[in-house]
Amino acid sequence: MTEMDIQLTVNGKPAQVRAEPTQTLLSVLRDKLGLTGTKDGCSSGDCGACVVLLDERPVNACMVLAPQAEGAEVVTIEGLAKEGELHPLQRAFGETWAFQCGFCTPGMLVSCYALLRSNNNPSREEILIAIAGNFCRCTGYQAVVKAVEQAAAELRTANGGSEIRHD
Amino acid sequence: MNRTEYTAPATLEDASHIKKQRGAEARVIAGGTDLILRMRENVLSPALLIDLRRIAMDSITLTTDEMRLGAFVTQSQILASADIARLFPALCEACRGFAGPPIRNRGTVGGNIVNASPAADLAPPLMAYDASIVLTSVAGDRVLPLVEFFTGPGQTLMEPDEILSEIRLPLMPEGTAATFIKLGQRRSMAIALVNLTTRLTLDGTGAVSDARIVLGAVAPTPIRALAAEGMLTGKLLSDELFERAASMARKAISPISDVRASMAYREQMTEVLVRRALLATRDELERNQSGD
Amino acid sequence: MTEAMVVGQWTSMPEVHDIVTGKARYCPDIQLPGMLTGKLLYSPHARARIMRLDVKKARKLPGVFAVLTHGDIRGENSYLYAHPDQPLLAIDEVRFQGDAVAAVAAQDEQTADAALQAIEVEYELMPGIFDPLEAMQPGADQVVQGEDNVIMAKTYRTGDVEAALSCADVIIENTYRTQWAEHAFLETEGGVGLVDDDGVITVYSTCQAPHRDRMQIARALAIPESSVRVITPYIGGAFGGKDEAHVQIHVGLLAHAAQRPVRLIRGRKESMLTHVKRHPIIVECTTAATKDGRLLAVKARAIADAGPYTNSTHEVLNKFGEFIGGPYKVENLEVEKIGVRTNNPITGAFRGFGAPQAAFVYESQMDDLARKLGMDPLEIRLRNGVETGTKMYTGVVVREGTAMKATLRKAAEMIGWEKRDQGERRPDRHLRRGWGMATILKGSGLGRGLSDHAGVVLEMHRDGSVVLQSGAADMGQGIVTVMAQLAAERLGVGLSSVRVIRADTARSPDAGASCASRQTIMSGNAVLKAADSIRDTLLSLAAGKTKISKDRLDLKGGRLHVDGEPHEISVRDLAQGAGNRGYPLHAESLYHFEYPTDVPEVSYRYSQEVFQFCTQVAQVLVDCETGQVTVERLVAVHDAGKMINPGGVYGQIEGGCAQGIGYALTEELILKEGHTQNASLENYVIPMALDLPELEIEVLEIPEPIAAPLGAKGIAESPIIPTAPAIRNAILDAIDKPLYELPMTAERVLS
């Protein structure tokens, strides 16, 4: 066995797991840490169901090996709500019906969350680019765009109306 | 995939030593977006993965005559670089249409080169900008023009004990413009049916002093359409010239039929897109001129 | 009845919190103590004889708890959608790339893989049969020994087609080809099975028909259905692809053999190789009309590739034929429906169920006809469209047909049909713009002659909270929300007071499969029936308390209302009162769809009676040098009868249009000698966010008079049906090129 000790931070909390080097971050999250919110849709980086934030950037967790996340900060769907309070995006997704079966939703939400963290006034085009790696078969993408716009407006108001834009 | 070991050395030197020791059975992993997939499909089974994440290899440095990209620079970093957007726009354009954001955040320029897919999106712009690559080993650095690097699908001139560490792009002379075009079955998450870059540099009289037409996904490796490039050199730009160049470029390729497209379609599209790219490059040159 | 407070409101679904926080559990998320990993071994060949199958080595591997082959199946070794010809585990022959040969359960994935590797199978390759036209010839090699390759050859006729053809002014004759399409639901097929403390085999199944699954699992294990339980956790999409059983029976077998919980989840490639696909159909169609564009006759011959097993081929072809004349008045019609076995992938249910293929044919014919006659495509459709009271070529009388022309007119208005020639048709040298439309109909329900019913259990507790138990599987299409809304509405409580327990055969009556756009009608009506029973008890109690007659009383917003005004008595007070008096606020109802009996003669078997009409109009931009087609605008006008859940209706339409665009332009499984060449989401090309236009959707609410809950009818399938022909007709308009094959890839557009 070539198991390794991996230390990382997940949703703000330190985590330590033992994993094979070829085990994916997705598997670590789901099978070792019990965070089953992030889904496996294809195991090949094609669908975005497994998108999580790795050091603030959205990535396909199925395409990151466990040791590649050593020392990293990971944010999953389970980390968006703070103390039981839903993030405006999560609420907006519900209100605009931006999902139906919900399987793509965790990855989709994280991609949108990442966008809003660096750009709280995204254009429709920018939103579509942000979710261009997230596949939804049930609902299409229009309602997602609406949800992001709605959440962005709410965040801008909370931010005193100022825009945040950075790479 | 399971008996694979993993190591993350602290320096490039350490990494080179490990690579020297283990040779071909050790593979450097960058973002992993190609490597992990091939391992999962059992196409590759490296005994050891060497991860260079602890080594700072993702810097973008601009000197007076060249730009240096660390091999681990990601497509997202390229897109975020104002310098690259200004100096090497075709490279920027190639990253824009590359897969989707989660892949761009992991995929590296070095990985795209070493993976050596005939359809690698970054190869045509890098080759059109006359990029050279730095191959590092315990023996030192070897610098090689990228155009010479690819030898076949997935095959390169890299020795088993070498690590691709840097990509160098000479700054283009005044009067240069380049265009990248990718033909895919959808606007994101698509493998190119044809991808290409045209680059023209004009002399003071408006004639072509240097031309590059680099084509991908239509031959065992990305290739330059040398005869077409030669034909363009010394000429003044015109629509007919571009049509001729496109038709010559078409003869330089040897595409295959696969699940994405037929050979005939790839041939036809090469000609169409080379012509369009040259026209767009000319438009860019005219815009740059009037902008001065 | 006063204005609805819950129904028709744009409300978040009850499950929203679980889904947006990641708490919602799907089959792959279920973890049970001691759970094993299950896997299936598939045939590497499209057709081969099994000469030797030896699992001894695999069984002996440490950490392997069960290895099953056909001999280990005590009960029936077959799937049973309609015909039991597909084995669960192959016996002596494999007939397509997805035939399962063995099943294993092991301590982890690695060990399960090792077990599969250790299974020794020797095959003798046989020449595969891949062309249905060849396979249907007399004397052709039999795909299934002893069974005709032609599974079905039925012709339906009405009127006198030959006479009509002979006196027609214009005849349009074309051959159409449609492709294998993949559902690509995000959550692949899977299941978790366990033997509980009472010895009951419980299977968590991502499925559309939990009660039918229960029957199939019991049948395979040769145990009574009362010893089997099927539960649906959250389901990550289905679109028909999980209607027939997939791995849940194997999961039950493995759990029983291992006497440990077993979770078996198909990988994406595995899923694309093995589960049912949409039937590819070759259709020769002849449409005859008068010179002023009146349809005289439609004659069609359809040959569907069934794969090696029957599955739902009869039913799909039946639906195909039922709608091949379109939403038009056609008195003379003949449709020959042929289903043929091959060694290609198995084919089965997929949203639309034969109707998308039919619509591609009849709506393309209409435009070709309009062209030939120099008529406007809108005009010719209006001229022939059905209306309320029209007797269709199936014999069914259209009870409410206003929507046919209403959706047509509205869609045309939204796209600016009359002004389209003022639009820029040549924005550049190599670009051409065009507009095209398609108008369709699809029925809801299983069909006349079949018993279509659903049961539900509803209970209100003393505090006014409500529990609803239904066996209707929710795959994302939103039936859970619809049922909750109907119950909340009728009982006068808020949506958050209603808890729906997801389909569980041990707790919910059979609601039938979630298919054929039927659940809103069947389960919706069952809920209304049950709710009305409880409502009646509450109102009777209220009448007694207030001394006001029941007809002046209502329940709304948690309160009793008298003459439309809120009263101080709350619904909770009434529930409490009922509880105190021992009045049960519990109802179990069974709803049976009643087919109208006043129709003189409905000649088409299993015809549907409740119609979804819709029209889509596309504006496309064609790049004449590359063949690429961009859908710039897509207008979709649907008649929903009544929107109980607007968010769900719009979601279904949007999602269906996106699937329709993929079906039209890029989606096809590429087969080579029975082997899929593009079994990945990378190479099976589905449009993503940057590829789709901003859809312009309008929903009409023309109440359905036949037994639809509050006038609502299902709209689940219609959105995917008109998209391909609308785009095809827009391409025709743009570049003068009629296309007869799907998908209309760039290469096909150019060729």
Find, in chain B, the residue whose alpha carbon is nearest to that of C667: B185
| B43, B54, B278, C41, C57 from C117: Cα distances, Å | 17, 38, 54, 9, 10
Residue type, C678: N
Last residue of a domain, one of B136, B152, B170: B170
Average pLDDT (B169-184) is 97
- Cβ contacts (< 8 Å) between B5 and chain A: which residues? 2, 21
User: A111: part of which helix (H) or strand (E)?
Assistant: helix A105-118
How close does chain C come to A64, measured CA to CA in Å?
18
Residue type, B97: G
Locate C243 and state its tokens. Answer: 């209607």
The verdict on B162 and B180 lying in the same domain is no
Chains in touch with A (3+ beta-carbon pairs under 8 Å) read: B, C
The verdict on B20 and B156 lying in the same domain is yes
CATH number at residue B12: 3.30.465.10
- Cβ contacts (< 8 Å) between B40 and chain A: which residues? 43-44
Residues of C with CB under 8 A from a CB of B: 110, 625-626, 666, 670, 677-678, 682-683, 685-691, 745-747, 750
In whole angstroms, give the CA distance from residue A94 to residue C650.
Answer: 14
Q: Are B75 and B93 in contact (CB under 8 A)?
A: no
Q: Tell whether A58 is within 8 A of chain B (Cβ).
A: yes
Nearest Cβ partner for C651 among A37, A128, A143 = A143
Task: Give residue limits of the domains in chain A.
Answer: 4-79, 88-158
Q: For B227-269, give the DSSP string.
A: HHHHHHTTPBP-HHHHHHHHHHHHHT------SS--HHHHHHH
Residue type, C352: G
Last residue of a domain, one of B123, B139, B170: B170
Pairs of CB atoms within 8 A across A/B: 84
Q: Which CATH number fits domain C16-23+453-592: 3.30.365.10, 3.30.450.40, 3.40.50.670, 3.30.470.20?
A: 3.30.365.10
Count CA atoms within 13 Å of residue C328 on its CB side.
30
> For chain B, how far is it from start to end, CA to CA, in angstroms?
56
Residue contact C187–A80, C-beta within 8 A: no
How close does chain A come to C741, measured CA to CA in Å?
23
| Distinct helix (H) and strand (E) counts, chain B | 11, 14
Residue contact A102–C234, C-beta within 8 A: yes
pLDDT at residue C1, rounded to an integer: 39
Q: Spelled out in words, what is the top-level CATH class assigned to the domain C281-447+600-750?
A: alpha beta
Stretches in chain C below the pLDDT threshold 70: 1-3
Locate C740 and state its tokens. Answer: 């007869």
How close does chain A come to C240, measured CA to CA in Å?
12
Domains C16-23+453-592 and C281-447+600-750 share a fold: yes
B-interface mutation test, from C623, C675, C688, most B Cβ less than 10 A away: C688
Residue contact A103–C236, C-beta within 8 A: yes
Nearest residue to B156 (alpha-carbon basis) of B133, B137, B173, B186: B133
3-state helix, strand, coil in chain C (%, to 5): 30, 25, 40
Nearest residue to A51 (alpha-carbon basis) of A60, A43, A64, A42: A60
In whole angstroms, give the CA distance from residue C216 to residue C76.
Answer: 9
User: C435: part of which helix (H) or strand (E)?
Assistant: strand C431-444
Pairs of CB atoms within 8 A across B/C: 41
pLDDT digits (tens, 9 = 90+) for C728-751: 999 999 999 999 999 999 999 999
Does residue C574 sit in helix, strand or coil? helix
Contacts of C608 (CB under 8 A, 6+ apart): C322, C396, C442, C443, C444, C445, C446, C447, C448, C516
The verdict on B138 and B64 lying in the same domain is yes
Residue contact A136–C186, C-beta within 8 A: yes
Q: Tell whether B185 is within 8 A of chain C (Cβ).
A: yes
Nearest residue to A138 (alpha-carbon basis) of C351, C247, C696: C351
Homologous superfamily (CATH) for A88-158? [2Fe-2S]-binding domain (1.10.150.120)
Find, in chain B, the residue whose alpha carbon is nearest to that of C623: B272
- Cβ contacts (< 8 Å) between C677 and chain B: which residues? 259
Nearest Cβ partner for B101 among A24, A43, A111 = A111
Nearest Cβ partner for C680 among A38, A46, A134 = A46
Positive or negative CA dihedral for C106, C110, C116, C118? negative
Q: Tell whether A125 is within 8 A of chain B (Cβ).
A: no
- Cβ contacts (< 8 Å) between B262 and chain C: which residues? 747
Task: Give residue limits of the domains in chain C.
Answer: 16-23+453-592, 34-126+189-265, 281-447+600-750
Residue listed under structure tokens 């009359």 = C418
Q: In DSSP terms, which residues pair with C392 in a beta bridge?
A: none
In whole angstroms, give the CA distance from residue B244 to residue C244.
Answer: 57
pLDDT at residue C214, rounded to an integer: 98
Chains in touch with C (3+ beta-carbon pairs under 8 Å) read: A, B
Measured in degrees and rounded to the nearest 5, phi and psi for residue B265 equal -65, -40
The verdict on B209 and B254 lying in the same domain is yes
- What number does CATH give the domain A4-79? 3.10.20.30
Q: Tell whether A79 is within 8 A of chain B (Cβ).
A: no
Report the Cα A39 to chain-centroid distance in Å.
11
User: Which residue segment(s) compose the domain that B180 sits in?
Assistant: 176-291
| B50, B53, B70, B134, B142 from B19: Cα distances, Å | 8, 16, 19, 16, 15
- Cβ contacts (< 8 Å) between B37 and chain C: which residues? none
How close does chain B come to C748, measured CA to CA in Å?
10
Burial class from Cβ neighbours inside 10 Å (0-12, 13-18, 19+) for residue B101 reads buried
Residue contact C689–A47, C-beta within 8 A: no
The verdict on B145 and B186 lying in the same domain is no
Residue contact C650–A30, C-beta within 8 A: no
- Cβ contacts (< 8 Å) between C683 and chain B: which residues? 191, 259-260
Q: Tell whether A36 is within 8 A of chain B (Cβ).
A: no
In whole angstroms, give the CA distance from residue B17 to residue B162.
Answer: 10
Find, in chain A, the residue whose alpha carbon is nearest to that of B189: A133
CATH number at residue B271: 3.30.390.50
The verdict on B65 and B97 lying in the same domain is yes
The verdict on B145 and B28 lying in the same domain is yes
Measured in degrees and rounded to the nearest 5, phi and psi for residue C35 equal -70, 135
Q: Are A77 and A11 in contact (CB under 8 A)?
A: no
- Cβ contacts (< 8 Å) between C750 and chain B: which residues? 265, 268
The pairing of beta strand C559-562 with beta strand C565-570: antiparallel
- State the complex-level ipTM: 0.97
How close does chain A come to B32, measured CA to CA in Å?
7
Does residue C636 sit in helix, strand or coil? strand
- Cβ contacts (< 8 Å) between A68 and chain B: which residues? 29, 32, 51, 53
Does residue A8 sit in helix, strand or coil? strand
Residue contact B37–A22, C-beta within 8 A: no
| B27, B285, C270, C521, C703 from C642: Cα distances, Å | 61, 59, 40, 11, 6
Nearest Cβ partner for B4 among A22, A63, A70 = A22
Nearest residue to B261 (alpha-carbon basis) of B272, B247, B252, B245: B272
The pairing of beta strand C559-562 with beta strand C120-125: unpaired
- Cβ contacts (< 8 Å) between A65 and chain B: which residues? 6, 29, 32, 36, 49
Residue contact B8–A70, C-beta within 8 A: yes
Digitized pLDDT (tens) for each residue of chain A, 167 residues in all: 689 999 999 999 999 999 999 999 999 999 999 999 999 999 999 999 999 999 999 999 999 999 999 999 999 999 999 998 999 999 999 999 999 999 999 999 999 999 999 999 999 999 999 999 999 999 999 999 999 999 999 999 988 877 777 65
pLDDT digits (tens, 9 = 90+) for C75-120: 999 999 889 999 999 999 999 999 999 999 999 999 999 999 999 9
| DSSP assignment letter at A87 | P
| C410, C583, C715, C723 from C437: Cα distances, Å | 12, 57, 19, 8
pLDDT digits (tens, 9 = 90+) for B119-156: 999 999 999 999 999 999 999 999 999 999 999 999 99
Instruction: Answer whether the bond into residue C743 is a cis peptide, omega within 30°.
Output: yes
In whole angstroms, give the CA distance from residue C500 to residue C232.
Answer: 12
SS (H, E, C) C309-360: CCCCHHHHHHHHHHHCCCCECCCEEEEEEEEEECCCCCECCCCCCCHHHHHH
pLDDT digits (tens, 9 = 90+) for B99-115: 999 999 999 999 999 99
pLDDT at residue C689, rounded to an integer: 98
Find, in chain A, the residue whose alpha carbon is nearest to that of B45: A22
Q: Tell whether A8 is within 8 A of chain C (Cβ).
A: no
User: C543: part of which helix (H) or strand (E)?
Assistant: helix C519-546
Count CA atoms within 13 Å of residue C406 on its CB side.
17
- Cβ contacts (< 8 Å) between A46 and chain B: which residues? 189
Last residue of a domain, one of B170, B185, B201: B170
Find, in chain C, the residue whose alpha carbon is nearest to that of A35: C22
Q: Are B126 and B112 in contact (CB under 8 A)?
A: no
How close does chain B come to A144, measured CA to CA in Å?
16
In degrees, rounded to 5, the angle at the alpha carbon of residue B259 between the alpha carbons of residues B255 and B261 is: 45
Chains in touch with B (3+ beta-carbon pairs under 8 Å) read: A, C
pLDDT at residue C601, rounded to an integer: 74
Q: Per-residue b/e over C585-607, b at no fewer than 16 CB within 10 Å?
A: bebebebebebeeeeeebebbbb
Does residue C79 sit in helix, strand or coil? coil
- Cβ contacts (< 8 Å) between A134 and chain C: which residues? 688-689
Q: Are A74 and A53 in contact (CB under 8 A)?
A: yes
The verdict on B137 and B195 lying in the same domain is no
pTM of the entire structure? 0.97
Burial class from Cβ neighbours inside 10 Å (0-12, 13-18, 19+) for residue B63 reads exposed
Q: To the nearest whole percent, how much of chain A has pLDDT over 70? A: 98
In whole angstroms, give the CA distance from residue C659 to residue C724.
Answer: 10
Enumerate residues 181 to 200 of chain C having a beta carbon within 8 A of any beta carbon in chain A.
183-188
Does residue C526 sit in helix, strand or coil? helix
For chain B, how many structural domains are there in total? 2
In whole angstroms, give the CA distance from residue A96 to residue A152.
Answer: 14
Fold of C34-126+189-265: Aldehyde Oxidoreductase; domain 3 (3.90.1170)
